[in-house]
């Protein structure tokens, strides 16, 4: 169970596994659209497959979050910062759900078959529409960059907790116990 000392081990594992995959997705996304080399094809195959896996993982993660909850933030953290932390986490979850859905949606609206690694095909749930395709494509691109910006902000906040405040917040999600860790409730 997650308690005042931290998230449950499975929540920690998923956080870091998904963080690595999402950061890879952002770079693969930008890399593949800026190349005309044949590497475009394997890159897009990885991008689509990993994107769909991430969609499944975020559903599992939200179910675990509901079950285990989250440890409290340090009591001495200003209210506005706590609110900012909650809002940014909510937004991060939102991006994790919406990005793969936009990716799938824009291909469906283009009547482009979504074929994943191993030849797995995902049936289209949207009718063909140029207007919808353009809208979803733009959303996928611009929200992709907004996601990246928020991840950087989140990283900065995490480092602020770990290196400046040293308030134990980083230890709540760390994969391994940290030396001289204090709990956020302290």
User: Interface with ligand HEM by CB under 6 A: which residues?
Assistant: 15, 19, 22-23, 25-26, 29-30, 33, 44, 47-48, 51-52, 54, 65, 70, 73, 85, 89, 92-93, 96, 99-100, 103-104, 107, 114, 140-141, 144, 147, 151, 154-155, 158, 161, 169-170, 172-173
Q: Which residues pair with 115 in a beta bridge?
A: 121
End-to-end alpha carbon distance in the chain = 19
Residue 24 CB, nearest approach to ligand HEM (Å): 9
The contacts of residue 146 (CB under 8 Å, 6+ apart) are 95
Residue 81 CB, nearest approach to ligand HEM (Å): 10
Of 93 and 124, nearer to ligand HEM (C-beta) is 93
Of 124 and 141, nearer to ligand HEM (C-beta) is 141
Of 127 and 174, nearer to ligand HEM (C-beta) is 174
Residue 33 CB, nearest approach to ligand HEM (Å): 4
Of 103 and 109, nearer to ligand HEM (C-beta) is 103
Residue 155 CB, nearest approach to ligand HEM (Å): 5
Residue 63 CB, nearest approach to ligand HEM (Å): 12
Of 127 and 160, nearer to ligand HEM (C-beta) is 160
Torsion from C-alpha of 99, 105, 108, 112, nearest 10 degrees: -30
Residue 163 in tokens: 């290196």
């Amino acid at each position: 169970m997650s308690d005042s000392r931290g998230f449950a081990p499975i929540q920690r594992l998923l956080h870091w596994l998904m963080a690595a995959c999402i950061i890879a997705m952002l770079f693969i996304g930008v890399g593949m659209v800026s190349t005309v080399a044949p590497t475009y094809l394997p890159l897009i195959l990885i991008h689509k497959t990993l994107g769909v896996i991430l969609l499944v993982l975020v559903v599992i993660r939200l179910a675990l979050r509901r079950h285990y909850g989250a440890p409290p933030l340090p009591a001495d953290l200003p209210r506005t910062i706590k609110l900012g932390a909650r809002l940014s986490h909510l937004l991060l979850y939102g991006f994790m759900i919406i990005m793969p859905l936009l990716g799938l949606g824009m291909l469906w609206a283009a009547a482009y078959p979504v074929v994943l690694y191993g030849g797995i095909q995902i049936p289209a749930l949207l009718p063909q529409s140029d207007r919808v395709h353009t809208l979803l494509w733009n959303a996928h691109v611009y929200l992709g960059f907004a996601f990246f910006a928020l991840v950087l902000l989140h990283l900065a906040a995490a480092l602020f907790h770990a290196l400046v405040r040293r308030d134990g917040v980083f230890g709540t999600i760390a994969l391994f116990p940290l030396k001289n860790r204090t709990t956020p409730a302290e």
